[in-house]
A and B are shown apart, each in its own frame.
Chain A
Amino acid sequence: MYGHSHTGIGALVLTAAAAAKGGIGYLVRVIASSRW
């Protein structure tokens, strides 16, 4: 708690959102840095 940890459906939602955002960010960085 207090921002360090929590468990449950909400935690899964947050993890999914962060993973999606991180994943998209990663793809964008890869695409942007590629030499086409």
Chain B
Amino acid sequence: MISVLIPAHNESGVLRECLDAVTAQTLPVDEIVVVADSCTDDTVAVAKSYGAVVVETEQGGKAASQDVGLSYVNGDVLICIDADTIIAVDAVEKLVGELEAGADATCANMLPMPQQRGFWVANRRFAYALGRYWWRWCQAEVGRLMVLSGCAYALRTETVRSIGGFPGKLITCDMDLTWSLYRAGYKTSFCHTALAYTYDPETFKVYTKQMRRWASGFFQNFQAHRGHVVKSPAALLVVGSLLLDLLMLPVTYAFVVLLAVHDPGRLRWLVLSIAVHGVITTFIASRTITWKQAIVGFPCYWIANWWNKAIYFWTFIREWILGRHYASWTGRQGRATVVAPMSRRRKIGLITAAAAAALVVADWHAAAADISLPDTVILLLAIAAAAAFSLSFHCTPRYLTLTSCISTAVAGGLALNRVPVDAVWWFALTALTVGVVGAVLAYLGEDTQIGHQGGAAYSSAARLPPLARMNAMP
């Protein structure tokens, strides 16, 4: 028996076409369960008109809604679809075929809706088409598909029940589910023959917001499942290769700039490598989308890819270095964006690491420049402190205090290095001390600012469990 589970929040505008596709499958589904989560539109009426089992709930999240719906599912095969997704007419047949062939869970290949146009959609269309016969194939081949695409995937009902339902603690629940399945010993596959069309972001703002969430989910996921990743060579390969490319980003930027400055003639090799990349990837993408879409899509994809990597790189710093986790995002539903503040322990660790690094550099600098070690240490400590604080600037509202303190510290440190020991030297030492102490106190103070919202709501809401917190936000 095949069941389809669709979580929906005010999706009446798109749910009808989603259900049209579900009811027109070559392999008919036996049951449709729609979870109407906090709906204020006619989602319920639309779902009922298709004979779906409708569960009305107030969960405020996708995974929690799916969990509620799971208890209403009677089928042994479960197809999970987003309400803004249209599956191809044979998608269920293909997905079920994969499960019958031995996979514990499988997913369809996504594509943007055919009628969607624009730079960001062309980029996404190309990326999905390329992934179909390249990256996702590679991941599936080594046994660790990075993510069962949340918009359309299938698994046995018993499988998801055996891991305690749909995990919903992280910002991207589909990736969390995928890696929870790996941890439980289940195997996934990539059903590239099943296609699912979904609404992709059309503007820079919405695209960036989505990438920010995906990037945050990526790092949260591998922090949560790190125990499994380090034990599994396949997982290490899939996650490590992506991290390597990400961390190479600044190196690549530096390399291109240096090349342009010192030996512009060699930039032709860079252009040549981009051209080769373009020809190969355009050919691969053209197996899924039209030649025109592939040719137009490549430059969009190539440019957007740098933006994606920049977002991922910054998110890497925020999630893993600063420990500021993206807890809630502002989607179509209008939830507040919540980014958790840095812990005091993390701040102290960051200062200590910066100071230790400064000492090492100071020692090296003193030996190389033949100046006194204390002078160099003082100077570099001021600079390192400034760097550490700058890195954390994003997480505190005390901009004015921090700017004043850091400026004082840096000015004091610079003056110390340039004047003999006299009254001015003591003044500079005082400035450095006051600046550093002031900045540390401001830095270690309680954060009251959150993400893009005014901060007042956070301090009380943060103590609530995640779902209650989402509901409590304005």
Contacts and interface: CB of A to CB of B under 8 A. Distances in A.
A10 B141 contact: no
Interface in B83-137: 127-128, 130-131, 134-137
Nearest to B131: A4
Given A10-B244, A22-B141, A4 B215 contact: no
Given A14-B138, A21-B141, A4 B245 contact: no
A22 B116 CA distance: 35
Contact of B277 (A7, A9, A10, A19): A7
Contact of A9 (B134, B139, B245): B245
**Dominant secondary structure of chain A at its interface with chain B:** helix
B237 interface: yes
A32 interface: no
Q: Among A10, A13, A17, find the residue whose CB has the most chain B CB atoms closer than 10 A.
A: A10
Interface in B142-156: 142, 145-147
A1 B241 contact: no
B240 A10 contact: yes
Interface residues of B, number: 39
Nearest to A13: B241
Interface stretch (B264-272, B304-312, B395-403, B444-452): B304-312
Nearest to A8: B245
Given A10-B243, A13-B241, A14-B241, A2 B138 contact: no
Contacts of B301: 5
Contact of A18 (B138, B218, B312): B138
A10 B137 contact: no
Interface string B302-340: 000100110010000000000000000000000000000
B214 interface: yes
Given A1-B211, A5-B305, A8-B248, A13 B237 contact: yes
Contact of B136 (A3, A9, A17, A21): A3
A21 B142 contact: yes
Nearest to B302: A7
A18 B127 contact: no
Contacts of B308: 1
29 contacts: A1-B214, A1-B312, A2-B147, A2-B214, A2-B215, A3-B131, A3-B145, A4-B127, A4-B136, A6-B242, A6-B246, A6-B309, A7-B305, A8-B244, A8-B248, A8-B252, A9-B244, A10-B240, A10-B241, A10-B243, A11-B135, A13-B237, A14-B139, A14-B238, A15-B138, A17-B138, A17-B142, A18-B142, A22-B141
Interface of B: 127-128, 130-131, 134-139, 141-142, 145-147, 172, 175, 211, 214-215, 217-218, 237-238, 240-246, 248, 252, 277, 301, 305, 308-309, 312
